[in-house]
Amino acid sequence: MKTAELFEEKTVFSLEVFPPKPEADEKVIYQTLEQLSDIHPDFISVTYGAGGGKNDCKTIQIASDIQNRYGVESVAHLPCINLTRAQAREILDRMHECGIENILALRGDKNSDTASCGEFRHASDLIQFIRENYDFNIIAACYPEIHPESRSAEDELKWLKYKVDCGADHLITQLFLDNDYFYAFREQAHATGIDVPIEAGIMPVTNKRQIERMVKLCGVELPKKFVRVLEKYEHNETALRDAGIAYAIDQITDLIADGVDGIHLYTMNNSYIAHRIFEAVESLISVSV
Ligand code: FAD
């Protein structure tokens, strides 16, 4: 099923996982997927490294298994920054053969040490390529606090609108910790004529190093109430985990009450946390249908 159709029926609740490292025991990701499939998410998306690492080929296998073994719709991510057109075609053909219908088309992060070696400059180039050659449902990334490379919010929205005009059917945001950024962004996106569903990306933060890395990489602001939680519980793993879960539930509750199109949970492959969050918001999702 194409994910864009899901929004016609309900508030979408979806999950993101990443493939295991090459040296990791494959059983673990399949145990995680089995536990995540108990949630009956609307779809599970699988990340794909832009650097061409060895575990990237696992993205297609895992996305295919999510559908065929667990009966859950899947989305395969595809960053294009280091791909030639021939390589993109090869990967997309494999995805099609595996029955994958949904692609999250991305540029990927630039590596400051090496020049990119691909033929696509932006996600919009890949979106156009897919639209011209395939029948996939296409998802694209968006940034409520604007992408670190964007010169201004106007520029950001102009290029986001261009991605939608090139063929993106649905958008998923970067993580954010202050819902007001999402509301302002969504309003501006609608005013720019962006009329596809926008899912809110929520990352339950459960460890200080993880959030510091994210803030550096994505330019996400830490609200004062979040910093208070981090500082109070940073040395107590269980307390920080529980506080991170509570914070995410609070964010999601507010977003659903405000009529968000969907929630995309960055699970970090942690099914325990995903379950706790889902159980807390399950009834809210069904009320908002
Ligand atoms: P683009 O849309 O190309 O945007 C990048 C910058 O260029 C922005 O400043 C934009 O305003 C500008 N821009 C866009 N189009 C044009 C244009 N046509 N002309 C000029 N400027 C333009 N990375 C991975 O490597 N693997 C993953 O699996 C992955 N999953 C992700 C999932 C989500 C939901 C999100 C939000 C991000 C994910 N990323 C992933 C990270 C992503 O690759 C980076 O954020 C990357 O820096 C930008 O990707 P993009 O697709 O948004 O790029």
Which residue out of 83, 107, 151 has the highest number of ligand 1 atoms within 8 Å of its CB and is therefore the one to mutate?
Answer: 107
The CA 98 to ligand 1 mean position distance, Å, reads: 25
Which residue out of 74, 147, 261 has the highest number of ligand 1 atoms within 8 Å of its CB and is therefore the one to mutate?
Answer: 147
The CA 141 to ligand 1 mean position distance, Å, reads: 6
Position 116 pLDDT exceeds 90: no
> How long a stretch of residues is the chain?
289
Average pLDDT, the chain: 93
The CA 206 to ligand 1 mean position distance, Å, reads: 25
Q: At what angle do helices 237-257 and 224-233 cross, to 10 degrees?
A: 160
Instruction: Report the amino acid identity of residue 130.
Output: I
Alpha-carbon distance of 102 to 276, in angstroms, equals: 27
pLDDT of residue 288: 52
DSSP code, position 149: T
In this structure, the residue with its CA closest to atom 3 of ligand 1 is: 122
Cα 281 to Cα 15, 77, 144, distances in angstroms: 14, 26, 23
pTM of the predicted model as reported, rounded to 2 decimal places? 0.97
Alpha-carbon distance of 148 to 162, in angstroms, equals: 18
pLDDT of residue 64: 97
How many of the other CB atoms lie within 10 Å of CB of 211?
21
**Tokens linked to 223:** 């609200």
Task: Calculate the dihedral angle through the C-alpha atoms of 96, 197, 29, 253, rounding to the nearest 10 degrees.
Answer: -170
How many of the other CB atoms lie within 10 Å of CB of 142?
25
Q: What are phi and psi of 181, to 5 degrees?
A: -65, -40
Position 9 pLDDT exceeds 90: no
pLDDT of residue 215: 82
Alpha-carbon distance of 103 to 60, in angstroms, equals: 11
Architecture of domain 3-286: Alpha-Beta Barrel (3.20)
Position 53 pLDDT exceeds 70: no
Average pLDDT over residues 7-22: 93
Position 108 pLDDT exceeds 80: yes
Locus of tokens 């007001």: 180
pLDDT of residue 101: 97
Average pLDDT over residues 78-90: 96
Range of 47-51, 113-117, 181-185 with top mean pLDDT:
181-185
Burial class (CB in 10 A: 0-12, 13-18, 19+), 265: buried
Instruction: Report the amino acid identity of residue 103.
Output: I
Position 74 pLDDT exceeds 90: yes
